[in-house]
Amino acid sequence: MCGIVGYVGKKEAVPILLQGLESLEYRGYDSSGLAYFDEAQKKIDCFKGAGPVSCLKSQLAGIHHSGCIGIAHTRWATHGAPTQENAHPHLDNKGYFAIVHNGIIENYKLLKQDLEKRGYQFKSQTDTETAVHLWHAKNEHADAIRESFRQAILHMEGQFAFVGMGLDEPDRLFVFRRSNPLLIGLGRGENFVASDATAFLPYTNRVIYLGDDELAEVFKDHVRIYNLKSGRLIHKKSVHIDWSQEQAQKGNAPHFMFKEIHEQPEVLKKTLKQRIKNTQIIWNELRPKDLDKLKQIERILAVSCGTAYHACLASKYMFDACTGIPVSVDVSSEFRYSEQQLTRKDMVLLVSQSGETADTLAALNEAKRQGVFTLAIVNVRGSSLAREADAVIYTHAGPEIGVASTKAYTAQLMVLALLAIYLGIIRNKISKKDASAFLAQARKLPKYCLQIIQKKSAAVKSYAESLKDKPNFIYLGRGINFPTALEGALKFKEITYTHAHGYAAGEMKHGPIALIDDQLVVICIAPQSKTYEKMMNNIEEISARKGIVFSIGTEDDQRLIAKSRFFVGIPRILEIFSPILTVIPLQLLAYYVAVAKGNEVDKPRNLAKSVTVE
């Protein structure tokens, strides 16, 4: 989705803006642009075009840029095709103001008609251009640019974030946020604005998170924040984010996805270290009143999208095994329109890597509207979900840049498993002895995860090369590894562009069996568990129809090895933790097939890292 970068300081703005845009490329976009204040000519210069940031860079090559303030944008087209005219920034007809924008201005057509009647000429099909002309129109009657910016925003409906600059006050950026990510990075003698902290991590870790309907003036050495409605100054504290620049860079890895798969043992180790003290499970972020709520809830409704939804599905099996609390799981886009009647004893659990997924935020709003306790499990600190839910638990996976989620997923599974055990303990469903047995097994996960990555990658890579041209893949699992089948198939289709379908293995005879022939690859997730024999039956049926069996099973399971064309073994682990290990070979398989096909692994076609529109 769209990305925003702004800079004001002492250095040349253009290289900093370009670097910021490059670090936001992973979010997915189709055009890019920037504008800066040209000190020499005292005007706003703007460069933009369809295509990647590298094209923008070539446009700017050889041009001397003398400005120390600027704004930049990567656009993911919503209103109007990805063309140069529609790319941001947009300027008013006189070139006094420039603006970049994320989100949607819902009443832009009416505003546009009115502005056209007043003589404003539109050059693009975007809703954004309305904002800049409106800003200009409001400025005719305002005594300060900030006030005309505020007035313009008060006339716009929708969810959006803006960063703008005005020719008459070239020492500051004008910033606004509503339901779209935007944060301010505080440097020394320089400040930054971005939709994502990775854009300014090379310069600072100190940030101010803007809240909804907050407007800011960002100068090089200070920041003023105002409430939109009242126009009054408000005070906000800055916070330190523990993400490092290295974490947000590829380093020597061939792809971010590769790096992030390999970071999983460390992420699991860090999660366990933070969450387990001696034999206690700890939730630092939760206040006593949140912990009290957790004791009282009688039902959990887990809501999320994509990979996070698969983590929620797996969590149902974890909560069932440990707590006895009834759990229902929904994708956010269904939950938000489902008209479910919630009660005060319910808890809506929202899981998200980015914390900015539009449907999950809408689900949160619905839960809040019904007065239900909401708990978010989120990776990005200060994200909308983290700020708006009643309580938040962070996954601490570090920045995830690859569009295909890997380490965020295993971190979510780890936190959800610990939450299930914790709820089991506080509700006397799990004895002390069982709890320590659970935690002893959990502590083995980082080592086991590392073993799989180190010892199995070569085999999975060679399997991937021999399977890369197969047209269809079915992923089958049972119980807690049914969600693993869904996740394996999602990973595979999003980066290999090959049809892959996840199914509950017990459903095979109810339809998918018709697809089996000697070209169909069937990935069977069959670790030794209570559903093992049932999986073996499925495998017999697939083999009888000449399907290609690729199984993930317990290390050295000779029976399964004998029945599989391809086999990847994983260490034996308690069932509630098994999805954390079984998914690793599936991530590797998707990765190596995508590489073998020459696909853009980190930025698969048509996809964006965080889906901030419905």
Q: Which residues are catalytic?
A: 2, 609
Indicate the residue among 65 and 407 with the shorter CB distance to ligand M6R. 407
* Residues 6 or more apart whose Cβ sits within 8 Å of residue 351: 302, 303, 304, 308, 309, 311, 312, 315, 360, 376, 377, 378, 412, 416
Site membership for ligand M6R, residue 333 (CB under 6 A): no
Query: Angle CA(488)–CA(315)–CA(414) in degrees, nearest 5?
Result: 80
Task: For residue 567, count other CB atoms closer than 10 A to its CB.
Answer: 21
Selected binder of ligand M6R within 148, 180, 352, 551 (CB under 6 A): 352
Cβ(449)–Cβ(268) under 8 Å?
yes
What's the min distance (Å) between Cβ of 405 and ligand M6R?
A: 4
Q: How far is the CB of 403 from ligand M6R (least distance, A)?
A: 5
| Full DSSP string of 310-370 | HHHHHHHHHHHHHT---EEEEEHHHHTTS-PPP-TTEEEEEEESSS--HHHHHHHHHHHHT
CB of 357 to ligand M6R, least distance (A): 3
Which of 360, 410, 457, 481 is in the footprint of ligand M6R by CB under 6 A? 360
Residues, the chain: 614
Give whichever of 164 and 355 is closer to ligand M6R, judged by the CB atom: 355
Which CA distances in Å does 591 have to 469, 488, 505? Answer: 14, 11, 24
Q: Which is nearer to ligand M6R, 148 or 352 (CB)?
A: 352
| The one among 130, 357, 384, 481 contacting ligand M6R by CB under 6 A | 357
Give the span between the Cα atoms of 139 and 150, in whole angstroms.
Answer: 10
Q: Identify the residue among 353, 395, 410, 451 touching ligand M6R (CB under 6 A).
A: 353
Cα(491)–Cα(599) distance, rounded to whole angstroms?
13
Question: Nearer to ligand M6R by C-beta: 136 or 491?
Answer: 491
| Cβ proximity of 81 and 125 under 8 Å | yes
Stretch of residues binding ligand M6R (CB under 6 A), selected from 132-140, 338-346, 369-377, 603-611:
603-611
Residue 611 sits in the site that holds ligand M6R (CB under 6 A): yes
Nearer to ligand M6R, 216 or 608 (CB): 608
Q: Of the candidates 194, 300, 404, 581, which one interacts with ligand M6R according to CB under 6 A? A: 404
Site string for ligand M6R, 92-111 (x = CB under 6 A): --------------------
Figure out which of the listed residues 354, 374, 410, 451 binds ligand M6R, where binding follows CB under 6 A: 354
Q: How far is the CB of 341 from ligand M6R (least distance, A)?
A: 25
Footprint on residues 287-326 left by ligand M6R (CB under 6 A): 305-308
Q: How many residues bind ligand M6R (CB under 6 A)?
A: 17
- Residue with the shortest CB distance to ligand M6R: 306
CB-based contact 75:30 (threshold 8 Å): yes
Within residues 478-497, the interface with ligand M6R by CB under 6 A covers 490, 494
Least distance in Å: CB of 603 to ligand M6R?
A: 11
The pair of three-digit structure tokens given for residue 581, joined into one six-digit string: 């290990």
Q: In terms of DSSP bridges, do strands 391-394 and 373-378 run parallel, antiparallel, or are they unpaired?
A: parallel
Query: Of residues 23, 405, 531, 612, which one binds ligand M6R by CB under 6 A?
Result: 405
Residue 495: partners with Cβ closer than 8 Å, 6 or more residues away: 257, 403, 404, 590, 591, 593, 594, 599, 601, 604
Q: Given the rule CB under 6 A, which of 66-74, 232-240, 353-361, 591-599 is the region that contacts ligand M6R?
A: 353-361
- Beta carbon of residue 416, minimum distance to ligand M6R (angstroms, whole number): 13
Residue with smaller CB distance to ligand M6R, 515 or 607: 607
Radius of gyration of the chain (CA): 26
Q: Which of 351-359, 438-446, 548-556, 569-577 is the region at the interface with ligand M6R (rule: CB under 6 A)?
A: 351-359
Residue 130 or 405 with smaller CB distance to ligand M6R: 405
Listed ranges 77-85, 105-113, 352-360, 503-511: which one lies at the site for ligand M6R (CB under 6 A): 352-360
Please report which helix (H) or strand (E) contains residue 131, including its range. Answer: helix 128-139
> Which residues lie closer than 8 Å to 103 by C-beta, 6 or more apart?
2, 158, 159, 160, 161, 178, 179, 180, 612, 613
Residues 234-263 within binding reach of ligand M6R (CB under 6 A): none
Q: Which is nearer to ligand M6R, 385 or 520 (CB)?
A: 385
Whether 210 and 177 have beta carbons less than 8 Å apart is answered as yes
> d(Cα 59, Cα 606) in Å, to the nearest integer?
25
The secondary structure of residue 228, as a DSSP letter, is T
Query: Which of 403/536 has CB closer to ligand M6R?
Result: 403
Residue 375 beta carbon to ligand M6R: minimum distance, rounded to whole angstroms: 15
For residue 401, give every residue at least 6 positions away whose Cβ sits within 8 Å of its Cβ, in sequence order, or none: 26, 198, 248, 250, 256, 260, 602, 609
What strands lie across the sheet with 521-526, from one edge to the other?
499-504, 472-477, 521-526, 548-554, 566-570
**Minimum distance of ligand M6R from residue 331's CB (angstroms):** 10
Q: Of 178-186, 346-354, 423-431, 443-451, which part binds ligand M6R (CB under 6 A)? A: 346-354
Distance CA 307, CA 174 (A): 36
Pairwise CA distance, residues 321 & 468, whole Å? 38
Shortest Å distance, C-beta 167 to ligand M6R: 38
Considering the complex, state which of residue 357 and residue 551 has its C-beta at the smaller distance from ligand M6R.
Answer: 357
Least Å distance between CB 429 and ligand M6R? 29
What is the C-alpha separation between 465 and 459, in angstroms, rounded? 10
Under the criterion CB under 6 A, does residue 163 sit at the interface with ligand M6R? no
Q: Note the residues at the interface with ligand M6R (CB under 6 A).
A: 305-308, 352-354, 357, 360, 403-405, 490, 494, 607, 610-611
